[in-house]
Structure 1
């Protein structure tokens, strides 16, 4: 197999569908030039390699091989794709000479295995957890104070109570990430190295650089819900990645809700301006959705469509001060959010309720008061014992 590190890097990008058009042409040219040389893997070589690899996502395999066929139409040999139900190995069996697989096996294996060994965070625990770049885990108590250090022992942040502040004078010249995980029943505040302030809701994970680097976008990665007060910096856009959605700003106040049970990722703009676009695309102010203050943008996770509408922003940011709001939400989703907010276990024996939708708003109320409301207004019967709620 080819040992040229440049072509291996290029092939890695291609199989991940990250190549520019020019790089794609370079891959195709290499394929055409080398397909009959000893440099190529055999079907057996590739299948042996795949035996040690996780399966590639079906849609990604479809896209890659469709690109190969589209570019190779001028060739006399015609390769027919199998049905979309076919798995990755069947693609290989009919397109064994496609070199996009060259050198990427162990790249995939290493990256996927690293993800596999990462311990799964128990959001129902009582601990706020900070995971450092080297994998070390630090438990944060909102009743105490602590220092956050880098791999060299330098202090990069200070935690006091429910707030963690990162230093702006760190001498790091490369992006080093920390990840903070907020359990059910708790909230936390975070000040990033650029002065951006973040409120983190319960059941939320945020991955962020210890220090933002000059010349690079300020990008963080969110699962859950957070309110961002972004420090202004015209030279360095601030980007919140919420899975398949990117939210791009220069300096503003906005809320992002990206919980797994929700069909929509919601962005509510309080002040400033934000752009919403798919994370697989480049930002284009002329084409992407630009929110104005007082509007909510909703990204549909199923079809990647973005819709906007005017809203009362206080409703969607009330959680910062202990509020709780449900808008046209199924009772099944409400249960999930109540479990997250109060760190309780809820069992619903009334199956008819699951798909019914409700509107409700609460200030800082106990779970007992919230359930009492549903009983009085909607006739929902329940019992509470210890940390468990049974809906009859």
Structure 2
């Protein structure tokens, strides 16, 4: 692929001027892991230039990037072209972000502060992975983890997902429970074909088989889950319901996300496609695609608003997206995925708002260094499974 073409596409992307053709070029080029590393390098250059300028001069940034790009002689190989512009965006976010995380304050920072890393840093904390605990109807607990397999009468797991097959017939419905610990994620395909992606610190209770024509019901005990429900037309009209705390979600064949963590006072149900109705304390709220219901457990109320779907469900694709989120909320997400506890020694940091994208494959220390570099925190320390922000 032409070096000049790549050079122009990269620069236009980094300064926010890329069109569809530019994204097309980048998507092809970035499939090569060697090129992913190269692009991360270019992004880092652009990122640092932006940080030190109170009013960024796009022409100067372009000149800086051109010099950097032309100085590198790595080979470029062409790969198969894809068509969806959404996929281009996903690849750019997943593979190319500076170490997987960007966090920008409202006002530009005029200089890069010195990084202060604790002398007491004792451990490297790894990102989450595929793991879960399967609890059978008889109370037996079976650990599921990447690289390990499990097989029973109507269920099989390869350690990254668990798949059920078969129907309950006229037999009594038997329930299993799948628990995803902090630092974990998992995929489950229910016996009716419904697909569910489970985030860290989540528990789902479900039947091992369903009876066609009768209600299909599961319970999201706590946590976050993304559902792709098998339509009722495939099951003699039997509807699908998700129970969660004090709310009930009545579903037609559809795709939606529920976020209901035990340490949060709000339950969010977001509709991606299809139709659902959220029933809270007798109040029924139907949702349209791109709408999100918000159950306030403290005030015992429910409201509905339009949201950015990609921001809500990006976790399923390997990234966490934040839009003007307080650092306290961001660190909650980090604590679940990396299985750590976070302490704010400086309480004023909790309410600072940031916008950015965090890769779930990123090393935690690099994320903390980035936050440190932005002068958001003066210092951080890691003690075993505890992070202290100062």
TM range (shorter): 0.5 to 0.7
Match of residue 151 from structure 2: 147
Distance in 2 between the 1:218 and 1:378 partners? 51
Shift of residue 246 of structure 1?
1.2
Cα 1:304–1:209 change in 2 (3 A) is same
Cα 1:370–1:247 change in 2 (3 A) is farther
Shift of residue 378 of structure 1?
5.2
Regions of 4+ moved over 3 Å? 124-127, 169-172, 326-334, 354-360, 384-388
Structure 2: 5+ residue stretches without partners: 1-127
Contact 1:172/1:211 (CA < 8 Å) preserved in 2? no
Match of residue 312 from structure 1: 308
Q: TM-score, normalised by structure 1?
A: 0.60
Distance in 2 between the 1:320 and 1:219 partners? 23
Cα 1:309–1:373 change in 2 (3 A) is farther
Q: Greater RCO between the two (CA within 8 Å, min separation 6)?
A: 2
Structure 1: 5+ residue stretches without partners: 1-123, 149-154, 282-286
SS of match in other structure, 1:288: strand
Work out which of the residue numbers 199, 215, 218 in structure 1 matches 2:216: 218
Q: TM-score, normalised by structure 2?
A: 0.61
SS of match in other structure, 2:303: strand
Distance in 2 between the 1:165 and 1:305 partners? 37
Match of residue 129 from structure 1: 133
Match of residue 366 from structure 1: 363
Distance in 2 between the 1:336 and 1:306 partners? 23
Paired residue total? 257
Q: How does 1:297-336 map to 2 (within 5 A)?
A: 297-336=293-332
- Could you list the per-position Cα deviations for residues 336-388 of structure 1 after superposition, in whole angstroms to 9, with x for gaps in the alignment? 32111111233321122234444443233332233233223352121335543
Distance in 1 between the 2:264 and 2:166 partners? 35
Does 2:240 align with 1:238? yes
Q: CA RMSD in A?
A: 2.4
Distance in 1 between the 2:276 and 2:292 partners? 11
Distance in 2 between the 1:289 and 1:179 partners? 28
Match of residue 341 from structure 2: 345
- Could you list the per-position Cα deviations for residues 304-357 of structure 1 after superposition, in whole angstroms to 9, with x for gaps in the alignment? 322222222111111112211344544444333211111123332112223444
SS of match in other structure, 2:224: strand
Contact 2:130/2:159 (CA < 8 Å) preserved in 1? no
SS of match in other structure, 2:249: strand
| Higher Rg | 1
Contact 1:266/1:297 (CA < 8 Å) preserved in 2? yes
